[in-house]
Amino acid sequence: MAYRVFRSPSRYIQGVGAIDVLGKEAAAYGKKAFLLTDDFVWGLLQEKVERALEGFPYHYKAFTGEASLEEMVRLADEVADATVDVIIGLGGGKIIDVAKGIAAACELPVVIVPTTVSTDAPTSAISVLYTQDGLFDHYRFYAKNPDLVLVDTQIVIQAPIRFFASGMADALATCAEALATKASGENALAGGLPTIAGTAIAQACEETLFRDGLSAFGDVQKGLVTPAVEAIVEANTLLSGLGFENGGLAAAHAIHNGFTALKGEVHRLTHGEIVGFCLLVQLVLEARPCEEFQKYSQFLAAIGMPTTLAEMHLTGATHEELVKVGKLAVAQSNTMRNLNKNITAEQVADAILAVDGLVGKE
C-alpha cells in the first residue's frame, strides 16, 4: 500500500532580529548546547550569538571538514564527551547537514540557524553526504525534521548577493521537480507519495520567486529588508524546503550530483548555481516549450546565475566527460527516476549541450 506522507520542522521563526530569541527558544529543548559553526561565521556573529545565548551554556566547535559520514561520526563522539542535550547548527548548508546528522546519531534535538538562504537544507530531515574528496556519496534520511529553524533576515542578507541568488536558483527547481515526481508516481523524499499540500507548497514557491524575486534581488543589493525580501527568504528556505522534501526531487538535483564526477572550476560554483543550470537541463529532457524554457533561463540570467557551459566553467568539457555526469545522475542513489527511469547517461549529456544552444538563441 502506497501512503501519502508530509513532514516538516516543529517550529519555524523568521524575521529581523530573530537571532535575539535563540537562547530562549533553545532552552525549550535542553540545558546545554553543542554549537557547531565555522571560524568565519563565528568571527562575524560571535557577539550577537553570545548575547542571545547569555545564561544558556554551550560548547563551541569549529567545523573544518567535509559533510561526510566520517565527519559526523567524529563529531558525534565529541558531543558525547561534552555532555550536551541540544545541537545548534549555525552556518551554511554543509554545517546544517552535519548538525542534523550529529543530532540524529546522538538522539538529541537540533536547532538550525542558517546564515545564508543559499539552499533549502535547513528544514529537511535529510543530509547530502559527500566523500572526503567532495564526490556526491548519498542522501542520509532521519527519523525527524529539525526541532527549530530560526532565520534572522538581517543576518542572511549580509551574505554576498550571490548566495541570495543561489538560493533562488535552487528554489526555482522545486516546483518542476515536484510536478515531475507527482506525474511519475514515485515517492517523495518524505518517504511516501506526494501530498496535495507538498505539491501546493512547491507551486507557491515558484509563484513567489517569479513575483518577488527580481525586486528582492535589487533590494538585497542595497542592504534593504522589504516585504519582497522576506517573501524570498521564506521561499528559499521554508517553501523550497517543504516543497522538495514533500513534493520530490527529480532530474535537476540528480544532474547536480552528477557534476561532482567532474574535476575543475565547476566546483567553484555554489549548489544553487549548479542546480539552476541543471533545471534547464531537466526542462530540455521534458521537452518543455521554448517559451517556458526562456521564462526560467531569463530569470536565472537576471539574477546572475549561470545558464551556459561557459558560465559553468565547462567550455572545454567533452561529450565523454558529460556522459560521466549522466552516469552518476541516473544512478540508483539519485532521483532521475522521478522524472523518467528510462533516461540514459547519453541523453543527459546531450541535454546539457542542448541548453547551451537554446540559451544562445534567446
Contact 123, 145 (CB under 8 A): yes
The one-letter code for the residue type at 211 is R
Helix, strand or coil for residue 362? Answer: coil
Q: Report the interhelical angle of 196-221 vs 227-234 (nearest 10°).
A: 140
The C-alpha R_g of the chain, in whole angstroms, comes to: 20
Q: Annotated active-site positions, please?
A: 170, 253, 256, 271
Neighbours of 56 (CB within 10 A): 17
Contact 171, 122 (CB under 8 A): no
For β-strands 148-152 and 12-15, DSSP reports them as parallel
Report residue 182 as a C-alpha cell.
507527482
Taking the C-alpha atoms of residue 307 and residue 286, their distance in angstroms, rounded to an integer, is: 17
Beta bridge partners of 206: none
The one-letter code for the residue type at 102 is I
Smallest CA-to-CA distance from 12 within 151, 127, 142, 204 is with 151
Contacting residues for 196 by C-beta, under 8 A, at least 6 apart: none
Smallest CA-to-CA distance from 30 within 133, 90, 110, 127 is with 110
The DSSP line for 176-196 is: HHHHHHHHHTPPPTTSSBPPH
